[in-house]
Amino acid sequence: MEMLHTTLFSVLVAWAIVTAVLICVLIYRSMLGNREEDQLFLDGAGQSMAQEQQTIVARIERLSRPITALIVLSGALLVAMAGLWLWEGFRNF
């Protein structure tokens, strides 16, 4: 019984850490998105602005895979935690 509580607590802590990291990455992506322009009309002198916008878009695109992985991991840990909690409830019923 004590081992199940320890396991449940460990999964809870892991889920909290993964979810906190996910929230931080989502906030970072949102901050990058705020700096991105929807339309940019440039002449030859605005190449530095165009390069800056391309860099921002590349950073946002690179974050898509880690965000997806963190969402899947957070969901899996949540399901595992719910399963352990239900298992403990059925055993004590």
d(CA 20, CA 46): 38
pLDDT tens readout for residues 22-66: 999 999 999 988 876 666 656 666 677 778 888 888 899 999 999
d(CA 43, CA 50): 10
Please give the share of the chain, as a percent, with pLDDT higher than 90: 53
Q: Domains of the chain: which residue ranges?
A: 2-36+46-92
Q: Which residues contact 29 (CB under 8 A, 6 or more apart)?
A: 60, 63, 67
pTM score, whole prediction:
0.81
Tokens standing for 92? 């004590």
